[in-house]
Homo-oligomer: A and B are copies of this chain.
């Protein structure tokens, strides 16, 4: 299975937890892990190699030079890393036809084969959108994009690299960013949602991108169906969205113990 991660040094530790949980759920799968970065040191990359290879998987460093994306507009407060996910296809080997991108603030608690093997057909991506109350409306307003029907989360993306190479136009992305400079909050996610909203295959969020902040909301919204039992049997990707992260001090949340248990397992 091809996996893409993009990160800086702050996320090395959560990345290991995410990977450990992924490997644990797929003991027979061999992973090719593409690590896209600009600022990791050779020592950090070497440590990541050692960690991942211990489990029998392959690491492929995809170093993006600091002077990449020369034509891209720069936004205050955002580094050019915002373009990594959108333009990953340019930096990955031509031989890859698809890849699964995962954020590091994720626990994999069931198998992701169903997502990875989803036929993408003409879609550029597969992703889930979050149903949390108001999120669509707020983003429609903010982005002045009333044709946007849902707001996809870009933390879990199955990428149709073959199709992206032929159809994603770099300059189109830059033009959108330039034009919307002052509206963008999560730039890559915003681009995805406005420029590519019609080209995304929707996957079920409770299964493949469960927002760990909203246990009570999911349960309510499903008339009680999405209990903890349901989540543990059906959710494959538990996503710790938002500013409060389970590896921070003082975090409290429904999945705190679960996360910390995986963190302990991953650091043995």
Instruction: Determine the distance from Cα of A245 to Cα of B242 in the docked complex, in whole angstroms.
Output: 31
With A109-B261, A233-B264, A261-B109 already in contact, the answer to whether A228 and B254 are too (CB < 8 A) is: no
Instruction: Determine the distance from Cα of A175 to Cα of B75 in the docked complex, in whole angstroms.
Output: 81
Measured CB to CB, the closest approach of chain B to A160, in angstroms, equals 31
Measured CB to CB, the closest approach of chain B to A111, in angstroms, equals 10
* Interchain CB contact under 8 A, B109 and A232: no
* Interchain CB contact under 8 A, B260 and A257: no
List the B residue with the shortest CB-CB distance to A234: B264
Q: Which of B229, B256, B260 contacts A260 (CB 8 A)?
A: B229
Chain B proximity mask over A71-103: 1 for CB below 8 Å, otherwise 0: 000000000000000000000000000000000
Measured CB to CB, the closest approach of chain B to A65, in angstroms, equals 37
List the B residue with the shortest CB-CB distance to A264: B232
Instruction: Determine the distance from Cα of A169 to Cα of B255 in the docked complex, in whole angstroms.
Output: 47
Measured CB to CB, the closest approach of chain B to A189, in angstroms, equals 26
Within 8 A of B (CB), among A211-268: 227-229, 231-233, 249, 254-258, 260-261, 263-264
List the B residue with the shortest CB-CB distance to A230: B260
Q: Which of B227, B232, B257 contacts A254 (CB 8 A)?
A: B257
Q: Which of A254, A261, A263 has the most CB of B within 10 A?
A: A261
